[in-house]
Structure 1
Amino acid sequence: MPRFLTPARITLLVIIYLYQSDQVSTTSSRDVIYFIARRTALASEYDAGTVDDRNALCSSEIHSIAETLQQWSSRVPGRSMYDVLLQALWSLEGLDSLHTLISQLRRTTETRGLTDEETGCRPVTPSSPLGQFLRRSHVEFTRLQFADSQNLWKAFAAYRAPTFDEWGARNPEQCAEYLEKESSVDMLALSRISTLRVSESASDASAFDTDMLLGFTITQLQKLGARVPDDVKSRLETWIGHQADSGTQSLHFFMAYFEHWRAGQYNMALESLHRYFDYSLTSGSGGDNMKVFYQYALLHLSVLHADFECWDESVDAMNECIATARENQDSACLNYALSWLLHLRHAHPDQDHSSYGSISGVVGSGGGEQDEITFLKTKAREGKHWLLLSGTLLEEARFEMFSGGNASRAHEHIIQAMYLNTQHNLLSSASAASLFHGAGFDRLGQIHVASRDYESIDAIHKTHAPLADRVRASCRLAQTLASTGSYSKATGVLESITPDVQGVLKLEQRVQIFATLVQLRRELHRGNISAAEYHLAQIRPLRSTSDPEVVFEIHILEIELLLRQKRLEEALHKVTQRLSEVKRRGSDFAQRLHLHLLKARIFALGDQSPRAFTIALRAACTAGRHFLLGLLLEAIVVLGKILVDLTEFAAARDLLTSGLPHALESHDLYQTGRLFAILGEAHVGFAGFGCEAGSKEQKSQMRIAGGYFEKGRSAFQKVEDHNGQLDCLLMKSRVFGWEGDEASMQLADGIYTQLSLEESTVGSR
C-alpha cells in the first residue's frame, strides 16, 4: 500500500498545475480553488462532506472527478476544465514526465525569489495548506522505491485508461502521435484501452487515507453508537490488511471493539480492547505514553462493563481510571470519569454507594450529590470543557426531577444546556437536551409539546444524534401516539427506526420491547386477555434489565392486566412489593406517586373507599406541589371515583370539572374517557340526590350527564377500549330511558349489543 500518493492524488496535482499555470477561466477559478482546498486542507474534525471528498482520492474511478470538472470552463474557448485535464493527463508519458510535474510544482513553494517565467506557475506560500500538500507529495514521491514508483505509474495508467476514447475524440492529432509512439505495443491491447477497468485493490488507497477514514469511522462509532456498514467494513479491512503499521492496527482493533460491543459480544469486545491497548503501546514510546493509553483503556473498559450490567467491575475500572488520571494530571479524563460515576449512581441508585468513593475523594468527604455536581460544573467552566458542562447541567436537571425538586429549576438547567449546545456548536449533545426537554414537558402534562421535542431529534439532529437518543425519542413518541389511540402510527414510528438499529443488540431489543408494549396496551383496551398475557409473557423476563423506564412500563401494564382480570389481591401485592423496591432504591419520584395512585385505585375497586381516599388525596397534593400534572389528573380521576362511591356527588362534580381543561390538553384519551364517564356519574348522582324530582335542574343535570357519557364513549372508542365503551353506552341507555327517549335508548342498546358480540369474538380468539 502506498503511503500517500495514489492515482487520484496525481490527478489532483495535475489540476493544481492547471490552476497555477492560469488555464482556468476567471468565472470558474473560485470553484476550482474550492475543489482543490476541500481535498488538500487538513481539518481537526472531519465532517461527512470532507470525508466524501477525501474518499474520492482513493477511488479507482475517474468519473467522480469528471462529473464535477465538466461544469467549469477553461481559458480555451469551447473547452471545459475536464477537456483540459484529459489533455494534461495523457501528456504524461512516463515516470520522467511525472517527476518533472511534481518537481515543477515543488519549486513554486520555494522562497528564493523565483519568477513565474522560471517556474511556469504562480508561486505558492510554503506554509499554506496547498504548499504543504505540494511539499509532502514531492517528499513522498522522492522516497518511493523504484518498484513502488513503477506500481504507482501502472496504477495511474489504468486509472486514466477509461478516458482514452474521450481524449482521442477531442484531440485526434495528439492521439495519432500517441499511437505512433506506442506502435511497438500489441494493437489488440491498444484497442482495449478504452474498455480497461481496474478493480479496487490495495493500491487505490494510501496509508494516509486509510488512517483518516478509519479515524473518522471510530469517531462516528463513538458519537452515534451505530454499526459500520458491511461494505465500508470490508473495504477498510482490505486496506488495513495491506498495512503493517501498528498504529493503524490498533485503530482496527479499536473499531472491532465498538463493533463487538454494539453486537452484544462481550468477550470479543474485551479481547479487542486488550489488543487495542497492546498495539497502542507498540506504536508509542515511553512509560508516560503507556499511562495515557492505560487510563483511556480503563475508561472504555468501565463503560463496556456498565453496558453489560457488570456494575461492580465497571465501578472498579472507573476508580482505577480516576486514580491514574489524577496521577497523570489529566483533567479532561478525570472530569469525564467523575461525571460518568455520577451518572451511574443516578441511573442505578440501588447500587452500594460506598463503591463511589472516588467522587467524594476528589470533591471532599462531606460533599453531597449537589456538591459533586457543583464541583464538576466548576471544573468544566475552568477547563472550558463545554461538552462536560452541558452533560452536568442535564444531570443536575435529572437530579431535580427524580428527587422531587423544583420543576422550574430543572427546566432552567435544561435550557442552559440547550443554550450551551447552540453557543459552542455541541451537535452530539443537542439530542440529549431535547430528550430532557421533552421529558420535562411530559411531566407537566404538555404531551403535545413533548412530542414536538421527540420529533425534532429525527427531523433536525438525525445526522449527528447518537443512535441511542434517537431510539429513546422514537420509543417515547410511540408511547405518546399509543395513548391517543394511534396504534398504527406508533408501530410505524418504531418500524422506521428498525433498519438503523439492525445489528445493535440493546437498541434493537429496546425497539422490540416497546413494539410489544404498544400491542399489549392495545389488547388490554380491547379486552383480549389471552393476547395480552401472551405479549406480557414475552417481555416479563426483561423486568430484570437495567433500564428503569422499560422495567416500570412492564410492571405498570402487568398490574393493569391484573385489574382487568379482577385479581385485586395479586395486584395489591405487586404494587406494595414494587413500592418497597423503589423506596429502597430511591428511584424516580414520579414513579412512586404513580404506584400510590394504583394502590388507591385497587382499594377503591375493593370497596375500601375511605382508605383509598387518604392515599389518593396525599398523592394529589404531592403531584400538584411538584407540578406533575399528568399524575395530578390521574389523582383527580381516582378521587372523583372515590367521591362518587361515597355519594359525595357535588364534590366529585366540582373536582372533575376543574380538571377538564388539563385533561383535554394531555392527549391521554383513556384517562380523559374515564374522567368523562365518572363526571357523568357525578351529574347523575347529583340529579338524584341534590335536585328535586321532576325539576328543571334535575333534567338539566341528566342531559349534561348524557353528553359526558357520549364524550367518554368517543374517547374510549379512539383507544379501542371496549369495556369503557360498554359502560358509557349502558349509562347512556339508562339516561335515555329516564328521559323517555325510546329511539335513542334503542340505538344505544343496539350499539351495546353489537360491541358485546365483537368483544366476545375477540376474547374467544
Structure 2
Amino acid sequence: MEAFVAKTSMLTPHKISLLILIEAYWEIIETDSTTPEKLEPLLFFLIEKISDEQRFPEPTLKELCDELTKISDNTDNTTNNFSEILLAKLVIIVTPHELTFSIKEMKRFFTRDARKYSLLGIFVRRCILEMNKLMFDDISRLYNAFIEYRDKRTTKPSTLFMKDAYVPLEVSEMTELAQRFHMHKQELIPKNDAESFSHYVITQLRKYGGILPLEIEEKLRKIHDRIPEISSIYYIEFVKYMQTGEYEGALTNFYKYSNFCPDDPENRSWYQYVLLNLVVLHAKFGHKEQAILAIREAIEMARENNDQECLRFALSWLYRLKSSDQTIGTRVSASEQQMLESLISKAKQANFMYLQALGELGKSQRQIQQGSPPTEVFESLLRSSVLNMNCPFKTMRFQGHLLNASVWQTYGSDTLANLFTNEVINNPDPSPEDRVTAICQLADNHVSHGNYLNAFEVLAKSKVRFNGIRRAVSQWVFCFEKLMYQKSFNRDEIFNIGAIEHQIRACCQDDDLFRADFEFNRALYLAKTDRPDEGVDVLHKLINQSCRIGNQNQMLVANYLLKIAEIRIETEDLTSALPYVLSSLCLSERFHYQSSYFLAIIRLAQILLNFELAGRARSMIEKIMPVILAEHSLHLQSIAQYIYAQCLIACINQDLQANRKQSINWQDVLYALDASRIGFKDLESISELLNVLQLINSDADKLRTLSYPFL
C-alpha cells in the first residue's frame, strides 16, 4: 500500500529524536558535572541540526545514528554512546500518550538548562508549543509517522540501555487500527522546514544564479507536489525563468506567487513587495515603461503604509531605470530629474546607504557622459566606494568596481582597470551578470595586448559559471565571438570573418549595445573587402543613432569618426579624412577619452606627414609617446611606433634634400620599426605587419648598414 502524506507545522519524528538527545544531554550534565567538555561534540551537533537551513528532507533514524556513532568514536567518551542512548529512549515510547508526555515533560528543564534565549531552549519551547496545539488526528498522524520512522532502523540498541524497556510487538492493536484508517506508512512533511529550505534556495539563486543541481530540483518538486500552498516555490520558479530568459514562464509563476497576496485590507502591505517583483520582471526583459508604472504604484503603496524599507527599494529601482534609459521617448524630464534628486536627498537624510551609493554611481556616469573633469568623476566614485563599504548589499560594491574599471579604461590606464576587474573576478560573491562583465573586460584587455591565449583561457574557465543565465550567457557568447572575429580580422581570414559575422548577428538582436558593436565590426569588414564607401555609410548611420540618443555615447561617436578617417586614409583621400580626425580629436579631448585622443593625434600626424609637415608630425607623436608606451594597448603602441618611424624617415629625407646635417639617427628609425613589427606580429595583424615590412624594404639599403636582422 502506498504511503500517505501528512503535513505538520514543525513536529516530526526526526525532531522528536533531537528532543530526546537534548534531554539526554541535559540529564548527563545534571548527574555528572565533570563531563561538559566530553559532551561538546554532541552539543555542536545538535546546534547544527537545529539551525540547518537545508534540513529538507530530514534524515532517517539510521542516518542519524550513523552520525552519532561517528561523534562517539571521535571523542574520548567511553561511557556515553549517543546512538545507543537515543535508540534506548525511542523504544520506550509505545503509545501516543507516552509520546506527547515525553515532549511536554521537558518543561522541567526550563528553570535551569533551557534558557529563554539559547538555541536549544528556543527549539524545545517551540516543540512543546506545537505539541499543545495538535488535535487528536494530528497526534495520531505524528505517532504513526514516529512508529514508521523508528521501525525502519536496521540497528538495534544494546541490552545495556534496555534492561526494563518494553519492546512492542511487530503488529499491535494500534498498528491494525492505523491500517484500517490508512494512517500507517504515513510520511510527515514539516511545513516550516520546507519553507526554510525554499528560502535557502532563493538566497542561493540570488547570490550565484545558474541552474539548480538535480538533487535540489527533486527536493523542490517534492515540496511543490505535497505542499503546494508554499508560495516561495513559485517565487523560485519565477527567478529561474527570469535568469533563463523565458518571459512566459516567469510571468506565469509571478502571477501564481502573487495569488498568495492576502485580500485582507489591513494586510495590504504585502502587495507592494509583489509590485517590486513585477518591476524586476519587466526590467529584466527590457520593458522599462511597464516597470516604471509598477514602480510608481509600489511607491504610492509604500507611502500609504509608511513602509520606508519598501520605499527605499522602489526609489532605487526608479532611479536606476531613469538614469539608464537611453530612448528619447522616455528621457528624464526636468520635473522627474528634480524628483529623483529630491529622493536621493531624502535617502541621505534617512541614511539609506544603498540609494546614496546608487546615486553617486549614477552621478559618476553622468559626469563621464557630460565631459566633466576627471577630478569630479573620481570624487563621486570615492564617495560611492565609501558608502559601499558600509552598504549591506554587496552588489553595489561590485558595480562600483566595474564602473571604476570602465572609467580607468576610458582615461587610458589599463593597469588600474585590470586591478578593479580582478577585484570582481576573484571574489566569490558577485552576481553572474557582474562577473561576466568583469571577465569580458579582462579578456578584451588581454587581446588588446596580443595575449589571445590568455583571453580565450579566461573565457573557457568561466563558461560553466553562467549555464542557464540567459543574459550572462549572451554576453559571454558575444564576447567570445567578437574576439574570434577580431583575431580572424587581424589575420585577414575573410571566409572566417563572414561565418563569424552571421553568428554574431544572431546573438546581438536583443541588445542595442551589442548590435551597435556588430555594425561597427561590419563596417570594418566592408572596408577590408574593398567596399570602403559601404563601410563609411554604416558608420554614418551609427553616428546618427548615437546623436539621437543624446550625449551618452560620445566615446563611440569619437571612435566612429576616427574609423571613417582611417578608411579615407587607406584610400589615400587625405583631404576628406582631415575633418573626421579633427572632429574625433575635439570630442575625445572634451570628454577625456585618452585612447581615442592619442589615436586621433597619430592619424593627424599621418595626414601632416603626407602634407610634408614631417617635423610637426614628429613633435606631436613625441609628446604623447611616453604615456602611450606606459599605459596603453599594444595596438596603439605599435601604430604610434610605425607612424613615428615614418616621421623620422621623412625628416631624414628632408635633411638630405636640403643638404643639412641629419638631425635623426637611423638607429632610432630601426628601434621604432622593430617595436612596431614585434607588436603587430604579437597581435597577428597581417596587413599592418606587411606595411611595416614594406617600409623596411623601401629603406633596405640604409637599414642594412645597421645590420638589421631581417634584411
TM-score class, shorter-chain normalisation, is 0.7 to 0.9
Q: 1:157 aligns with which of 138, 141, 150?
A: 150
2:604 aligned to which of 636, 639, 663: 639
Quick check: 139-148 or 577-586, which moved more? 139-148
Change over 3 Å in CA distance of 1:213–1:740 after alignment to 2: closer
CA RMSD of aligned residues (A): 3.2
Q: Which amino acid aligns with 1:570?
A: E
1:235 counterpart SS class: helix
Residue 560 (structure 1) aligned with residue 524 (structure 2): yes
Task: Return closer, same or farther for 1:408/1:502 CA change in 2, 3 Å cut-off.
Answer: same
- 1:147 is aligned to 2:140: yes
Q: 2:233 aligns with which of 228, 245, 252?
A: 252
Distance in 2 (CA, whole Å) between partners of 1:59 and 1:351 is 62
The structure-2 alpha-carbon separation of the partners of 1:103 and 1:323, relative to structure 1 and needing over 3 Å to count, comes to closer
- Give, in angstroms, the shift of residue 402 of structure 1: 2.4
Looking at structure 1, the residues matched to 214 and 370 of structure 2 have their Cα atoms a distance apart, in angstroms, of 44
Cα offset for 1:473?
1.1
Q: 1:430 to 1:11 in 2, by over 3 A?
A: farther
- Does 2:694 match 1:725? no
Aligned to 1:289: 267
User: Residue by residue, what CA displacement relative to the aligned partner does 1:126-149 show, whole Å, maximum 9, x if unpaired?
Assistant: 354432211111222342624322
How has the CA–CA distance of structure 1 residues 378 and 742 changed in structure 2, closer, same or farther, with 3 Å as cutoff?
closer
1:358-377 aligned within 5 A: 366-367=334-335, 369=337, 371-377=338-344
Change (3 A) 1:479 1:63: farther
1:524 alignment partner in structure 2:
489
- In structure 1, give the amino acid aligned to 2:103: I
Correspondence list, 1:318-357, <5 A: 318-353=295-330
Alignment of 1:136 onto 2:113: no
Unaligned runs of 5+ in 1: 42-49, 111-121, 187-200, 361-365, 749-765
How many Å apart are 1:533 and its aligned residue?
Answer: 1.8
2:699 aligned counterpart, secondary structure = helix
Give the TM-score, by structure 2 length: 0.87
Partner of 1:430: 397
> Residues 384 and 322 from structure 1, CA distance in 2 versus in 1: closer, same or farther, beyond 3 angstroms?
same
Greater relative CO (CA pairs within 8 A, separation 6+): 2
2 CA distance for matches of 1:680 and 1:478? 30
Q: Scaled by the length of structure 1, what TM-score is found?
A: 0.81
Tell me how far apart the structure 2 counterparts of residues 348 and 382 of structure 1 sit (CA, whole Å): 27
Relative distance call for 1:152 and 1:86 in structure 2 (3 A) is: same
The equivalent residue for 1:14 is 20
C-alpha distance 228-416 of structure 1, shift in aligned 2 (>3 A): farther
1:62 maps to which residue?
A: 64
Whole-angstrom CA distance in 1 between matches of 2:405 and 2:573: 37
Residue 63 to residue 741, structure 1, CA distance change in 2 (3 Å): farther
1:91–1:660 CA distance, 2 compared to 1 (3 A): same
1:738 to partner: Cα distance: 2.6
**Match status 1:627 vs 2:571:** no
Does the 8 Å CA contact 2:667/2:706 hold for their aligned counterparts? no
User: How many Å apart are 1:516 and its aligned residue?
Assistant: 0.4
With over 3 angstroms needed to count, the CA separation of the structure-2 counterparts of 1:739 and 1:378, relative to structure 1, is closer
Aligned with residue 667 of structure 2, among 675, 700, 703: 703
- 1:664 aligned residue: 629
Partner of 1:390: 357
Q: Matched residue pairs, number?
A: 680
Change (3 A) 1:611 1:382: same
CA contact (8 A) 2:526 2:532 kept: yes
Q: Aligned letter for 1:408?
A: T
1:44 is matched with none
Q: Distance in 2 between matches of 1:664 and 1:28?
A: 67
Distance 1:712 1:497, change over 3 A: same
Counterpart CA distance in 1 for 2:447 and 2:573 is 32
Structure 1 contact 603–609 (Cα < 8 Å) conserved? yes
1:448 and 2:415 matched:
yes
Matches within 5 A, 1:185-200: none
Gapped regions of structure 2 (runs ≥ 5)? 1-6, 172-184
Query: Residue 683 of structure 1: CA displacement?
Result: 0.7
Q: Relative to 1, partners in 2 of residues 1:175 and 1:202: Cα closer, same or farther, differing over 3 Å?
A: closer
Partners of 2:660 and 2:68 in 1: CA distance: 90
Contact 1:680–1:708 under 8 Å retained in 2: yes
Instruction: Determine if contact 1:407/1:626 at 8 Å carries over to the other structure.
Output: no
Q: Which runs of 4+ in 1 moved over 6 A?
A: 175-178, 692-696
Which of these residues, 37, 42, 67, is aligned with residue 27 of structure 1?
Answer: 37
Q: Distance in 1 between matches of 2:560 and 2:266?
A: 54
Structure 2 counterpart of 1:452, which letter?
Answer: L
- Residues 1:428 and 1:183: Cα distance change in structure 2 (over 3 Å): same
Q: Which amino acid aligns with 1:318?
A: I
Deviation at 1:391, TM superposition (A): 2.0
Aligned 8 A contact 1:432 1:469 in 2: yes
- What's the offset of the Cα at 1:568? 2.0
CA distance in 2, matches of 1:455, 1:13: 48
CA contact (8 A) 2:433 2:471 kept: no
> Greater shift after overlay, 482-491 or 320-329?
320-329
Between the aligned partners of 1:63 and 1:501, the Cα distance in structure 2 is 39
Counterpart amino acid of 1:404? Answer: G
Match of 1:535 in 2: 500
1:87 aligns with 2:95: no
How far 1:744 moved relative to its partner? 4.2
Matched, 1:596 2:561: yes
The secondary structure found in structure 1 opposite 2:444 is helix
Residue of structure 2 in register with 1:755 after alignment: none
Paired residues of 2:595 and 2:632 also in contact (CA < 8 A): no
Q: Is the 8 A contact 1:397 1:410 kept in 2?
A: yes
Are the equivalent residues in 2 in contact too, given 1:401–1:589 (CA < 8 A)?
Answer: no
Whether the aligned pair in 1 keeps the contact of 2:145 and 2:188 (CA below 8 Å) is no
Aligned to 2:8, the other structure's residue is in SS state coil
Which SS does the other structure have where 1:527 is aligned? coil
318-327 vs 509-518, which deviates more? 318-327
Call closer, same or farther: CA 1:329–1:223 in 2, change over 3 Å.
farther
Deviation at 1:274, TM superposition (A): 1.3
Q: Distance in 2 between matches of 1:541 and 1:551?
A: 10
Cα gap change, 1:321/1:88 in structure 2, threshold over 3 Å: closer, same or farther?
Answer: closer
Equivalent in the alignment of 1:264 = 245
Distance 1:162-1:451 versus aligned 2 partners, 3 A rule? farther
Q: Distance in 2 between matches of 1:30 and 1:425?
A: 34
> Per the alignment, do residues 89 and 139 of structure 1 end up closer, same or farther by CA in structure 2, a change over 3 Å counting?
farther
* SS across alignment from 1:25: coil
**Structure 2 CA distance, aligned partners of 1:527 and 1:260?**
41
Q: Give, in whole Å, the separation in 1 of the partners of 2:46 and 2:659.
A: 91
Deviation at 1:686, TM superposition (A): 0.7
Query: In structure 2, what is the Cα distance between the partners aligned to 1:64 and 1:507?
Result: 43
